[in-house]
Structure 1
Amino acid sequence: MMTPTSKAKNNRLRSRNRLIGTALAGCSVFALNACSSGGDENSKAASTPSSTQSSVAPSNTADPDAAAKQKVLETYDLMWTEQMKAYRKADEKGTGLQKYATLDALGQTRNDLARMREAGTVVRGDVKHSKTEVESIDLSAKTPKASLKDCMDISGWQTYNTKTKQVQPMPTNQKTRYWATAKAERWDGQWLITSLTPHGDDEC
């Protein structure tokens, strides 16, 4: 007979299998060009593993949640690193995205990758992050959760069309620095990014 504890664990595992992406309220972080211009530039942004690292301030030892916040930031950085690997080749295979994000968070990314393959585009350049911080964290909740804020700089990335062998220009009205917010939850001791939302009109 299944105990309440084992039932709860199975429910959580089913939830995790149902989830795993970068749910971005209709437009992915890298699809902002497409949202503003209507072109094939649905998936943009890139970064070498080193350039995806956020500018994280040293842990504040006076903050009792400092260690947990650092873990959240590490997960966020790792998620970005693996996501950029996928955008560079328009393919999630061979990346560790599922280790750091839920299905909900990965859904838009996977849609972007499919459109990229259809359009024959990949990403070059990089995306930079600064002022990244955990704005709130609740470790007492049944499922611990946190909220993050990040200033993204997409001025260094390019969308390259492998069919025409040309770089696709960025729309002239595209802001290159804007805020993004993210949510994270801790499942079975592992922090996972559950959503990532760009705020393309909110310059940072």
Structure 2
Amino acid sequence: MVAARQERAVGGRVAGGAAVLCGVVTFAWVLAGCGGSDGDAKALATAPSVSQKPASASAGSTASADSHADQKVAVLAAYNRMTTEQAKAYRQASAKGTALEKYATLDALSKIDLDLYRMKEAGTVVRGEIGHDAKVTDLDMTTTTPKASLSDCVDLSKYETYDTRAKKVIPLPTNQPLRYIATAKAERWQGRWMVTDINTQGGGSC
């Protein structure tokens, strides 16, 4: 039943995202821009890489000081793998061939799918490097389904949105912070952590 509700949510959110505004950051990491839906081989040849701080360095506590340090590392590992697969999807404006479903639930995937839908409509792909410096801000291992919250300092200084129709880079809006805080949530399902929600609308600069 939960999976069915999540699948309906994906379809509804993507369908509701049909309107694309020119020059507006649609999901903080993705600038839809204005363009057609044609692909460009040269644009796709340059993958948007992901720069991440090591999970062990971002966990915030050592095993001796924190009995759940290993779980924090596991949360960060799942989140970092998701952002790596997310970058692959934004490179081609499609989740095809990625492993996003291994690290994110349908609720989180629906937001990524909405981005990808808008990118296809606008004819844009993402290039360059997206930096991440994530840390676990809260961890609850006492509930039936363990939960975690994350804070991520996202770095867009080497990020590019490429218009595949005009064959040019679309600059970020002048008021777009190059470093800002995004948040995410994760849950532990059947022994492994999954990202359940992502919010890139900003929680201040970092």
Assess same fold via TM > 0.5: yes
Displacement, 1:28? Answer: 2.1
Structure 1 position 16, deviation (Å) = 4.5
In structure 1, the partner of 2:127 is: 124
Matched, 1:47 2:56: no
Work out the CA distance in 1 between the residues paired with 2:5 and 2:53. Answer: 29
1:104 shift after superposition:
0.7
- Cα separation, 2, equivalents of 1:186 and 1:17: 20
Query: Matches of 2:173 and 2:5 in 1, distance apart?
Result: 36
Count of residues paired in the alignment: 176
In structure 2, the CA distance between the partners of 1:152 and 1:55, relative to structure 1 (3 Å rule), is farther
1:15 corresponds in structure 2 to: 2
Residue in 2 aligned with 1:29? 28
Instruction: Tell me what 1:141 maps to.
Output: 143
Flag the 1:174–1:29 CA change in 2: closer, same or farther, 3 A: closer
Kept after mapping to 2: 8 A contact 1:146/1:184? yes
Paired with 2:68 and 2:6, the residues of 1 have a C-alpha distance of 26
After superposition, the Cα gap between the structure-2 partners of 1:200 and 1:138, relative to the gap in structure 1 and judged at 3 Å, is closer
Following TM superposition, by how much is the alpha carbon of 1:136 offset from its aligned partner in structure 2, in angstroms? 1.1
Q: How does 1:69-108 map to 2 (within 5 A)?
A: 69-108=72-111
Distance in 2, Cα, partners of 1:198 & 1:54: 18
Q: Runs ≥4 in structure 1, deviation > 6 angstroms?
A: none
In the other structure, the counterpart of 2:118 is 115
- 1:8 corresponds to: none
Evaluate the alpha carbon distance shift between residue 71 and residue 161 of structure 1 in structure 2; reply closer, same or farther with a 3 A threshold: same
The equivalent residue for 1:10 is none
- Give the superposition deviation at 1:200: 3.0
TM-score, with structure 1 as normaliser? 0.78
**1:200 partner SS:** coil
Q: Which residue of 1 aligns with 2:67?
A: 64
Q: Which runs of 5+ in 2 are unaligned?
A: 18-25, 36-46
Equivalent residues of 2:180, 2:204 under 8 A apart: yes
C-alpha deviations, 1:64-113, integer Å up to 9, x for none? 00111100000000000000000001110000000000111011211111
Task: Specify whether residues 183 and 201 from structure 1 end up closer, same or farther in structure 2 by C-alpha distance, changes over 3 A only.
Answer: closer
What residue in structure 1 maps to residue 199 of structure 2? 197
Give the root-mean-square deviation of aligned CA atoms: 2.4
Q: Post-superposition shift, 1:61?
A: 1.7
- Equivalent pair of 1:52/1:80 in contact (CA under 8 Å): no
Q: Secondary structure of the equivalent of 1:182? A: strand
Once residues 158 and 29 of structure 2 are traced to their aligned partners in structure 1, the CA distance between those partners, rounded to angstroms, is: 12
The sequence identity of aligned pairs, in percent, is 48
TM-score, with structure 2 as normaliser: 0.77
Partner Cα distance (2:158, 2:181) in 1 = 16
Counterpart-to-counterpart distance in 2, 1:102 and 1:180 = 18
Gap change, CA 1:100 and 1:52, over 3 Å in 2: farther
Displacement of 1:128 in angstroms is 0.5
- Per the alignment, residue 5 of structure 1 pairs with none
* Secondary structure of 2:165's aligned partner: coil
